[in-house]
Amino acid sequence: MTESRDERALRASDSDRDRVADRLREAAAEGRLSLTELDERIDALYAAKTYGELDQVVEDLPGVASGSGVSPPAVTAERRPTGRRPTGRVGGRAGSRVSKAVFSGLQRRGRWVVPERYSVKVVFAGAELDLREAQLEADEVEIDVKAVFGGVAITVPDDVYVTVDVAGVFGGANDAASLQQPPDGAPVLRITGKAVFGGVDVRRKPATS
């Protein structure tokens, strides 16, 4: 019993959360969860930090009442850019750090400053973020996306290191940008969030200037 309690207190990984998200998606498809409940539980899921908190998200669903079934994964090495060097891509002060579009469209392109923490939410809408002429407010920035019945297209330049970690619930992310990364030392863009009946498309193109 002590070992079980100890495991529930361990930190969960993103892949663990993705597995629980799959269970929630199946429950919604079976009619056990409404779309509102699904959205609320996805929020709780990606706020969970331990295996015990993941269990709470699905404990009332048939077949998973005894736990989420997640277990501590083997530790794997992840390539991370090290020794970042000064670059003309970084600099400036961002304006708004939150952008929303509901039954409409959102577009950011040309010269603008990407906030260190930038939240983008679209509901029955679309957004286009073009970073090729943009400045990054810091060496490492994060764009957190929530696409609900909508889509977000993000174009990144070839001198920015990109990671994409977007959860999909009847949706997902198309990540073509991380297939070819710049050398270590480049500024880092992390794209996170979730797509619920929506999609996030990340592509890489050379800077226009």
The model's pTM is: 0.61
Q: How confident is the model at residue 85 (pLDDT cuts 50, 70, 90)?
A: low
The Cα–Cα gap between 129 and 152 comes to 8
Residues 118, 22 share a domain = no
For helices 51-58 and 35-47, the axis angle rounded to 10 degrees is 170
pLDDT tens per residue, range 98-157: 999 999 999 999 999 999 999 999 999 999 999 999 999 999 999 999 999 999 999 999
Residues 49, 113 share a domain = no
Token readout for 17 is: 């959360």
Residues 107, 31 share a domain = no
The Cα–Cα gap between 182 and 11 comes to 31
- For residue 75, tell me if it sits in a domain: no
Q: What is the pLDDT of residue 20?
A: 82
- For residue 106, tell me if it sits in a domain: yes
Residues 200, 124 share a domain = yes
Residues 137, 46 share a domain = no
Residue 26: is its pLDDT beyond 60?
yes
Domain hosting 41: range is: 10-58
DSSP 90: B
Per the structure, the count of domains in the chain is: 2
